[in-house]
A and B are shown apart, each in its own frame.
Chain A
Amino acid sequence: MPMTMSEKILARAAGRPAVKPGEFVWARVDQTNAGAGELRVLDELGVKRLAAPNTVWATSDHYAPATDEHYANQDNVLRKYVRQYEIANFFEYGRHGIAHQLYGEHGAMLPGMLSAMSDSHSTSGGVFNCFATPIGSETVFVLATGLLWLQVPETIRIELIGTLPPLCYGKDVVLSILKQIGSEVGIYRAFEFGGLGLHSLTIASRWTLSNMGIELGAKAAICEYDEALGAYLAQRAKRSYEPVSPDPGCHYVRRHTLDLDRLEPMVACPHDPTNVRTAAEVEGLNIKVSQVFLGSCTNGRLEDLEIAAQILSGRQVHPDVRMIVSPASQAVWREAGSKGLLQTLAEAGALVSHSTCGPCFGGHLGVLGAGDVCMSSSNRNFRGRMGSAEATVYLGSAATVAATALAGRIIDPRSVIQEG
């Protein structure tokens, strides 16, 4: 029976010739992560060794580096267990990053693999033609046994055609999909992104698609393989891999086609990522902002910093706005530094910081207060997400964030270029 990419990966991981949607399977996980909490549970249960320590990745990203004594102690617990359990891939502060970005840079998630990590944005690994699914603290089970139960999901095919117009990016693509289909039809299902339009996107833009797959409700959000992905992985993959492609005639529960040529910059309005309007419409509402945030596993990549630096170069962030920049990884930070992007952003008046999840989830480094209005390149704008329940958050691309930083109000990035 012809299978989708997700079905093929799950069949292989479950050791079966084929699987079909609705079936329960036990699958062997190729890549996972470990946190201090999960490892402590295993230690308390008397587990002496992990099922497959070389498949385990660890870092500390949410409060990087430790923001108080408590997190410092947590980090030390993690370091202790990394040694005790001989975890192969651990990244110390300075060499760290947000897990989804960091592990991708190091070739952790590869085509054809089954990845299962704790954080919800673990759908990000789908960019690598990998079935990457978030499982919360269930990693404790995977760490101990190497196994994960899954109900084989139905697949939704998103066919991308055309090419992106100027100042539109992966973020605008995924916000546009969220606008069209909402967050409910994707629940329990796998998304499959493909078509010539996908292959015309940069890896960074595709990464944003898979990353926000979770906002579509997805169990996984897998992209087709192509030569560009092969080239990205060439220096990173430490093992051979086998890309998967959908079998001709495989079954999709739904199909959507998105014409990139007709895309416009998009903005998700409070308080849900599905509450999407065009940036032009939102510009008409004259929404003044107090903070903008450029960063996160969604849009903190080199491409995003380049776009923002290009818009902000030789200009100044609006006097009423504070701009926080946090690259998705320290590798991005270093590369952006060597290209002069961090300098450009700092000269424009932005606060350029290190890599951390902090601002995105209201943890630290620019938590919002009551009445704050933030334009963010991150992934969620639920009430209270970035701090106060009295704050409002809008989501958009790095270009929309940078343009908004200049104007002091949410604008379509194409407006800046026209004025400039």
Chain B
Amino acid sequence: MAESIRGRVWKFGDNISTDLLLPGRITYPVMAGQMSPKEAATHCMSANRPGWHDLVTPGDLIIGGTNFGAGSGRPAHLPLQALGVQAVLAESVARLFYRNCINGGFLVIACPGIGELAAEGETLEVVLDAGVVRHRESGRELAFPVLPADSPPMEILRAGGLIPYLKTYLRPS
């Protein structure tokens, strides 16, 4: 896990659901490996922001409103990962989506006040272990709570996701 990341911002509103990120009709083909996450990414946000998937470039960041990732237990981070989105920073994050992101090794940060920090197209820097987001244009900073380094979710993130973590767990010591 990188210590800090930097990226261009895309902004989305409140209650961005897993149905918007990964529509139900393609969820199971994706989970079964029948459809690649890259192909699934062409459906990502197509209901609320058609064409967005063509505009986003690897390294970009998403700022979301409240309850980002609301809804289903599907791996809705996969299309974002496939598009090269580095992280989601949101006012609040739906719990199951949050857990799926950790398990998928995808960075998601609950960061109250983030919506005020940057406009779309501006750049944010995120210093992960310090728990600070910096607005590059103005230098303004915002702190977010960081999970304890020895907590299970941080151990899973450091391992690169749940499956690599499970492998270390299963390996006879």
Contact = CB atoms under 8 A, between A and B. Distances in A.
B19 A24 contact: no
Interface stretch (B3-11, B54-62, B66-74, B127-135): B66-74
Given A141-B166, A149-B153, A389-B47, A183 B67 contact: yes
Interface stretch (A85-93, A303-311, A378-386, A406-414): A378-386
- Name, among B24, B31, B71, B166, the residue most crowded by chain A CB atoms within 10 Å (CB to CB): B24
Interface residues on B, range: 35 or more
A74 B32 contact: yes
A367 B23 CA distance: 13
Nearest to B33: A37
Contacts of B170: 45-47, 144
A380 B73 CA distance: 13
B152 A187 contact: no
Contact of B67 (A71, A135, A184): A184
A383 B19 CA distance: 7
Contacts of B74: 136
Given A140-B162, A382-B70, A367 B152 contact: no
Nearest to B50: A389
A45 B168 CA distance: 11
A49 to B, nearest CB: 12
Nearest to A120: B73
Nearest to A77: B32
A37 B27 CA distance: 12
Contacts of A383: 17, 19-20, 47-48
Contact of B19 (A217, A367, A385): A385
Interface string A132-152: 001111101100110001010
Contacts of A62: 28
B24 A219 contact: no
B72 A362 contact: no
A252 interface: no
B82 interface: no
Interface string A3-17: 000000000000000
Interface of A: 24, 26, 36-37, 41, 45-47, 62-63, 70-71, 74, 118-120, 122, 134-138, 140-141, 144-145, 149, 151, 183-184, 187-188, 214, 217-219, 272, 274, 361-363, 367, 380, 382-385, 387, 389
Given A135-B73, A137-B31, A382-B70, 7 more contacts: A37-B32, A135-B96, A136-B99, A136-B100, A145-B166, A187-B94, A362-B23
List 4 A-B pairs, minimum CB-CB distance, nearest first.
A389-B47, A149-B152, A136-B73, A382-B17
